A and B are shown apart, each in its own frame.
Chain A
Amino acid sequence: MEIPYTVRPRPDTGLANPKLGIWLFIASEVMLFGGLFAGYIFMRLGAEPWMWPHGWLNVPVGTFNTFVLIASSVTIILSWEALKMRNYKAYKVWLALTWICGLLFLAVKLSYEWPAKFNHFGAYIKKEAAEKYEPFLGNEGPDGRLFRGLAPRLFISGHLTHQHSGESKAEFKAREHKAWADLKDPSVKTIQIDALDEENGNNPKSPEHDRAHFIPRDTVHMHEPVILQKSDLIYGYGPFYPKLNTYLACYFMITGLHGLHVLGGCIVFIYFWLNIKGGSLLYHTNHPQLCNRIEVAGLFWHLVDLVWIFVFPIFYLL
Chain B
Amino acid sequence: MAHVAEAHAHDAHGHDDQHHDHHELGFWRKWVFSTDHKLIGIQYLTTGLAFLLFGFGLMMVMRWSIAHGAAALPEWCGSFLHSIFGDAVFDKVVNSETKAVTGYSLSTQGYNVFGAMHGTIMVFFGIVPVAFAGFANFVMPLQLGAIDMTFPRLNMASFWSFFISCVIMVWSFFVEGSAAKSGWTNYPPLAGVADTGPALHPVMNGGTLWLIGMVFNITSSLLGAVNFITTFIQLRAPGMTWGRIPFFCWAQFITAYLLLLAFPPLESAAIMNLFDRVFGSSFFMPTGLMVNGLGFDGQPLQFSGGGSPVLWQHLFWFLAHPEVYVLILPGIGMVAEIIACNTRKPLWGYKAMVGAIFTLAFLSFIVWAHHMYMTGMGPKVAAFFQTTTIIISIPSVILLTALLLSLWGGSIRFNVPMLFATAFLPMFGIGGLTGIPLAFNAVDLYLHDTYYIIAHFHYIIAPGTIFAIFAGVYHWFPKATGRMMSETLGKLHFWGSLVSMNFLFMPMFFQGMGGVHRRWWDGGAGAYSATVGPWLDWNLKISYAAWALGAVQMIFVFNFFWSIFRGRKVPNDNPWDATTLEWDTPSPPPHGNFIKPITVYRGPYEYSVPGADKDFTPQSEPPAGTPAAVPGHAAVPAHA
Residues of A within 8 A of B (CB): 1-8, 10-11, 13, 15, 17, 20-21, 24-25, 27-29, 31-36, 38-39, 42-43, 46-47, 51, 124, 234-236, 241-246, 248-250, 252-253, 257, 285-286, 289
Contacts and interface: CB of A to CB of B under 8 A. Distances in A.
24 contacts: A1-B18, A2-B16, A3-B147, A3-B640, A17-B150, A20-B229, A20-B233, A25-B226, A31-B261, A34-B264, A35-B266, A35-B315, A38-B314, A38-B315, A39-B269, A39-B311, A39-B315, A236-B303, A242-B279, A246-B282, A246-B304, A249-B282, A257-B271, A286-B12
Contacts of B234: 4-5, 10, 13, 15, 17, 20
B22 to A, nearest CB: 10
B264 A31 contact: yes
B587 to A, nearest CB: 20
A96 B341 CA distance: 57
A66 B484 CA distance: 63
Given A6-B17, A28-B263, A39-B272, A13 B233 contact: yes
B261 A242 contact: no
Nearest to A285: B12
Q: Give the one of B16, B229, B314 with max A CB within 10 A.
A: B16
B218 to A, nearest CB: 10
A32 B262 CA distance: 9
Interface of B: 9, 12-13, 15-18, 21, 147-148, 150-152, 154, 222, 225-227, 229-230, 233-235, 260-269, 271-272, 275, 279-283, 300, 302-304, 306-308, 310-311, 314-315, 318, 591-592, 634, 636-637, 639-640
A257 B314 CA distance: 21
B637 A28 contact: no
Contacts of A235: 300, 302-304
Given A2-B13, A236-B304, A245-B304, A253 B272 contact: yes
Contacts of B13: 2, 286
Contacts of B310: 42
Contacts of A27: 260-261
B283 A246 contact: yes
Nearest to B8: A285
A4 B636 contact: yes
B265 A32 contact: yes
B275 A253 contact: yes
A51 B307 CA distance: 13
A35 B264 contact: yes
Given A2-B17, A6-B17, A234 B268 contact: no
A287 B423 CA distance: 55
Contacts of B314: 38
Given A246-B307, A249-B275, A2 B18 contact: yes
B150 A28 contact: no
Nearest to A17: B150
Given A5-B235, A8-B637, A20-B234, A28 B260 contact: yes
A118 B148 CA distance: 50
Contacts of A43: 283, 306-308
Contact of A285 (B15, B147, B302, B591): B15
Nearest to B301: A235
B304 A24 contact: no
Given A3-B17, A24-B260, A35 B308 contact: no
A244 B233 CA distance: 48
A99 B348 CA distance: 55
Contacts of A29: 264
A31 B302 CA distance: 32
A158 B199 CA distance: 35
B150 A249 contact: no
B264 A32 contact: yes
Contact of B306 (A11, A31, A51): A51
Contacts of B283: 39, 43, 246, 249-250
A309 to B, nearest CB: 19
A35 B267 contact: yes
B303 A243 contact: yes
B151 A17 contact: yes
The 6 A-B pairs with the shortest beta carbon distances in the complex, nearest first, are: A35-B268, A35-B265, A249-B281, A243-B280, A32-B264, A242-B281
A242 B12 CA distance: 52
B488 to A, nearest CB: 41
A236 B287 CA distance: 13
B312 to A, nearest CB: 9
B222 to A, nearest CB: 5
Contacts of B147: 1, 3
Contact of B261 (A21, A28, A241): A28
Q: Name the residue among B150, B222, B304 with the largest chain A CB count within 10 angstroms.
A: B304
Most buried by B among A7, A13, A17, A244: A17
Contact of B640 (A6, A31, A47, A248): A6
A32 B268 contact: yes
Given A6-B640, A243-B280, 4 more contacts: A3-B148, A28-B226, A35-B267, A36-B271
